[in-house]
Amino acid sequence: MARQLRGDALERVSEVCWRIPSDYKSGMRVDGLIYADDRLMADIRDDPAVDQVANVACLPGIQRASLAMPDIHWGYGFCIGGVCATDPEEGGVISPGGVGYDINCGVRMLRSNLVWTEVQPHVSRLVDTLYRDVPAGVGRTGKYHFNPTELRQLLGAGVAWLRDRELATDADLEYAEAGGCLSGARPEWVSERAVERGARQCGTLGSGNHFLEVQVVDQVCDPVAAEIMGLRKDMICVMIHSGSRGLGYQVCDDALKDLRGVPDSYGIALPDRQLACAPVHSPPGRRYLGAMCAAANYAWCNRQLLTCQVRDSFATVFGRSWEQLGMSLVYDVAHNIAKLEEHRVDDRVRQLWVHRKGATRAYPAHHPELPAAYRELGQPVLIPGDMGRASWVLVGQSGSMEQTFGTCCHGAGRRLSRRAAVKHAQGRRIDRELADQGVIARARSWRGLAEEQPAAYKDVDRVVDVVQRANLARKVARMRPVGVVKG
């Protein structure tokens, strides 16, 4: 684990931003910036993740600053909540640690035309049906099985491949980040072992912090933006959080083995071996990017097939088709990914590889990549909280492009490690505590709920307040959980 940053090395930039100066550590090419208020910083200051922000600042080709969002906590190489953009024309590198093991772990949100008074009498049956019909848990497989040829086609085409098989609609593609597909995918560079692991896991939730949550819109902060997104108070929504499952994990694991010794061969000195990287234009760099894009496409397909099963479960409980229930996609965002994007740096537009690890894209209005319906508004930003409090929908603001390469936070962020959370839960029934708060929780294990208990997370309302104050994203609506399915 990285050494601890000296507390006096942090310099205040604003009410919600702190700087690690580039002279803090030998090898830093840029400053580090952390977005947090005083109360969040009181916890963040002692987290070794802060030193990881300084380590990332040492990567070749890094632009502006090494960034961290208010949901920052320690991760592999990069902190969770970390953002880094590199310029391949200046020797910029790609680092699997800046994407993570769960490639394109992300969140999508479905709205409905149901309201809480209509659903409340049926909520127990609804959650039980979702728990029965949506595969969740470590190693669980689902009803969608693909042979190697089919799976490699899926890896190359993303959600469009499912649309051609009537498992997605045009709207499902339109309202997913990047249309549910990264064009740089090279399925042939995904190992046989990764393909084998992914063959029966597409359309499964997984474990850890992944979840399926039934929510009620309990607060609308921006009525105009909410109307454009089709959201209104007391509406029932569903949030799905999952990624690329065993396939993505294997792609990352394969890449880290492939990159052993690569930094040394290119004369790249790293403060932490977990920052293993390769120049973007190098053969190992291209191999990782091609496989990473393929795994990202798998993750979008995974969330799409989870959506199909959620829609079917709602139709079963309420006796109407998902179309009649209005269960359309609000948006789908990735938060463990690297993408080639245009950004202005030093008065020049550049093509940069933006690493977002536990961080969400937050493009402002008029960005050409946004769906037509959101072009004048800005990108919906989905921020899940914890099982007992709330989640948020925001919309990207201009400050994100000016400060953070079009990025904001991805969730509340852990304040307790999984081990500490389990210790904290000894002798308790988290499911009963949640039931007392009006949340029905179903999970494959006691440990799964213990690791993800509300006390393990920061207050999402405070985290979201920071990104709004920093002009990265603006609050649109708040949702409270009423039903949760966990692995």
Residues designated as active site: 410
Q: What are phi and psi of 22, to 5 degrees?
A: -65, -15
Give the separation between CA 231 and CA 394, rounded to whole angstroms: 12
Report the alpha-carbon distance of residue 266 to residue 260 in Å, rounded.
12
Q: In whole angstroms, what is the distance from residue 59 CA to residue 287 CA? A: 19
Residue 360 zone, left/alpha/beta (φ > 0; ψ -120 to 50; rest):
beta
Which residue, among 146, 192, 139, has the nearest Cα to 165 in the 3D structure? 146
Distance CA 114, CA 236 (A): 6
List alpha helices for 120-164, DSSP H: 123-133, 148-157, 159-163
| Contact indicator for 124, 441 with CB cutoff of 8 Å | no
CB 91 within 8 A of CB 65: no
**11-14 sheet: strands from edge to edge:** 11-14, 17-20, 31-35, 65-73, 80-86, 348-357, 336-345
Alpha-carbon 320 to chain mean position: 31
Which residues are within 8 A (CB) of 73 and not within 5 positions of it... i.e. 6 or more apart? 47, 49, 79, 80, 81, 413, 414, 415
User: DSSP label at 414?
Assistant: B
CA distances from 85 to 62, 99, 226, 468 (A): 6, 12, 31, 22
Residues in Cβ contact with 337 at an 8 Å cutoff, skipping those fewer than 6 apart? 99, 103, 104, 106, 292, 296, 356
> What's the count of helices (H) and strands (E) in the chain, helices before strands?
17, 19
Paired tokens of 433 = 């505590």
DSSP assignment of 30-59: SEEEEE--HHHHHHHTTSTHHHHHHHHTTS
Give the Cα separation of 236 and 219 in Å (integer).
12
Which of these, 204, 206, 197, lies nearest to 148 by C-alpha position? 197
Query: Are the C-beta atoms of 412 and 385 separated by less than 8 Å?
Result: yes
Look up residue 237 and give its two tokens: 């929504």
